[in-house]
């Protein structure tokens, strides 16, 4: 075989491999490296749309009014399209209104904002979802209450309370100072989201996968302790919950732990994630785990990289996982995603 023919064969082989790789980028779906609004709309298969526009160019001016118009026990996907603007209201998806797709015009253009601190995390939340089969795309959720005083009734200021099964956020943002994202319970997927906070700002007992998310740490000068990005609560070994961060990056303006163990079996994993110097060398803390021993904690990393990924001074009970150990968590099957997600990366 002449060298020219060999070159053609090599070129065709490379083209085939690239094609196969791209096809597998979005498992079982279109070969797109980015999940966008048209793709989500296509996958849920509906054209039922309620428009919400602050200027009156839609069916409603209020997000909550649009949600209230959805029939109880709704069994087919319905799109609530939020046009650009700042919707200053508390928003609640109640338990009896599934199959809502809350679609914004982009997290820099569509905002749901409230300002409330409380001794009760749920009460303070700007946005609450308690119904299964919910999707949000391209929306910023923000609690703009000023940083409260630690250990007082003005401490909690949640941006979003996620308390339902089969919930997904794509290209959304969550802003607060303390307790930003209350990832309470259920199976959840966060794709290309931005999450900002200082102390325990991703917390709860959900089974969640965060794919290619951007985590930004801001300063909290109220306490003489380091804050933490996560505070996952897992009370027993049969609980299948956990927070798993795949790819993405962590950076910011203050020093934090990757996670604070909440519960004796707390489980959090950062895999293939960029860590800036904002991560303290110890990496993890077992403070308030409620356990006499740290042996059952599962605070782990896999191939994290960047200046905050140095393992020399990591907490001795934290784990550096092998490929075999991390595979079940990095798979979308960790949240049974093939059964309910319209699309994933």
In the CATH scheme, what is the code of domain 199-210+222-340? 2.160.20.10
Look at residue 142 in the predicted model and tell me its pLDDT. Answer: 97
Model-level pTM?
0.89
Distance CA 149, CA 268 (A): 28
Q: If you average pLDDT over residues 142-154, what whole number do you get?
A: 69
Among 71, 87, 106, CA closest to 194: 106
Q: Where in the chain is the domain with CATH 2.160.20.10?
A: 48-184, 199-210+222-340
At 210, the pLDDT band (50, 70, 90 cuts) reads: very high
Positions of E strands within 132-273: 134-137, 140-143, 160-162, 167-170, 173-175, 181-183, 187-191, 194-197, 202-204, 207-211, 214-217, 227-232, 242-246, 249-252, 256-260, 267-271
Q: Which of 12-16, 189-193, 233-237, 287-291 has the lowest mean pLDDT?
A: 12-16
pLDDT at 22 over 80: no
- Which pLDDT does position 155 carry in this prediction? 67
What would the pLDDT profile of 30-86 be if each residue is shown by its tens digit? Answer: 444 689 999 999 999 998 999 999 999 999 999 999 999 999 999 999 999 999 999
Average pLDDT over residues 100-110: 97
pLDDT at 209: 98
Measuring CA to CA, which residue among 192, 179, 215, 197 is closest to residue 106? 192
Q: Which pairs from 29-32 meet CB under 8 Å and 24+ separation?
A: 29/343
Q: Please give the average per-residue pLDDT across 152-156, as a whole number.
A: 62
Which pLDDT value is given to residue 33?
64
Q: Which of 169, 106, 105 is nearest to 134 (CA)?
A: 169
- Contacts with 206 (C-beta within 8 Å, 6 or more apart), sequence order: 162, 183, 184, 185, 186, 187, 188, 241, 243
Q: Which residues are catalytic?
A: 200
Tell me the mean pLDDT in the region 173-189.
95
What order of strands is seen across the sheet that includes strand 207-211?
Answer: 49-52, 78-82, 100-103, 134-137, 167-170, 187-191, 207-211, 242-246, 267-271, 298-302, 319-320
pLDDT tens track for 285-319: 987 666 567 889 999 999 999 999 999 999 999 99
> What CATH code would you report for 48-184?
2.160.20.10
Structural contact between residues 48 and 74, judged by C-beta atoms closer than 8 angstroms: no
Q: What's the CA gap between 207 and 219, in Å, rounded?
A: 28
DSSP secondary structure of 130-146? -SSSEEEES-EEEE-PP
Query: Which one is predicted more confidently, 7 or 128?
Result: 128
pLDDT in tens, 157-174: 999 999 999 999 999 999
pLDDT of residue 227: 83
Q: What is the dihedral of CA 31, 37, 41, 44, to 10 degrees?
A: 70
Q: What is the pLDDT of residue 149?
A: 55
């Amino acid at each position: 075989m002449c060298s020219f023919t060999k070159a053609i064969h090599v070129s065709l082989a490379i083209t085939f491999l690239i094609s196969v790789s791209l096809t597998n980028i979005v498992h079982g779906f279109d070969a797109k490296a980015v999940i966008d609004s048209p793709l989500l709309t296509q996958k849920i298969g509906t054209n039922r749309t309620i428009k919400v526009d602050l200027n009156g160019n839609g069916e409603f001016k209020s997000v909550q009014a649009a949600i209230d118009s959805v029939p109880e026990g709704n069994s087919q996907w319905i799109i609530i399209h939020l046009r650009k603007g700042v919707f200053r209201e508390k928003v609640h998806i109640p338990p009896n209104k599934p199959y809502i797709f809350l679609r914004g015009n982009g997290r820099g253009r569509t905002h749901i904002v409230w300002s409330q601190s409380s001794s009760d995390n749920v009460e303070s939340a700007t946005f609450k979802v308690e119904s299964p089969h919910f999707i949000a795309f391209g929306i910023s959720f923000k609690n703009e209450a000023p940083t409260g005083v630690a250990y007082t009734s003005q401490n909690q200021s949640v941006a979003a309370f996620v308390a339902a099964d089969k919930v997904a956020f794509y290209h959304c943002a969550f802003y607060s100072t303390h307790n930003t994202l209350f990832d309470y319970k259920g199976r959840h997927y966060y794709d290309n989201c931005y999450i900002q906070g200082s102390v325990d700002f991703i917390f709860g007992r959900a089974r969640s996968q965060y794919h290619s998310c951007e985590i930004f740490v801001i300063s909290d000068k109220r306490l003489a302790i380091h804050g933490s990005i996560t505070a996952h609560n897992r009370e027993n070994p049969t609980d299948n919950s956990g927070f798993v961060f795949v790819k993405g990056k962590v950076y910011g303006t203050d020093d934090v732990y990757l996670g604070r163990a909440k519960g004796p079996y707390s489980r959090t994993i950062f895999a293939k994630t960029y860590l800036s110097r904002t991560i303290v060398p110890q990496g993890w803390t077992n403070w308030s785990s409620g356990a006499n021993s740290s042996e059952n904690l599962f605070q782990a990393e896999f191939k994290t990289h960047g200046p905050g990924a140095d393992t020399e001074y990591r907490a001795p009970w934290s784990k550096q996982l092998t490929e075999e150990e991390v595979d079940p968590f990095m798979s979308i099957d960790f949240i049974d995603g093939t059964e309910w997600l319209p699309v994933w990366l």
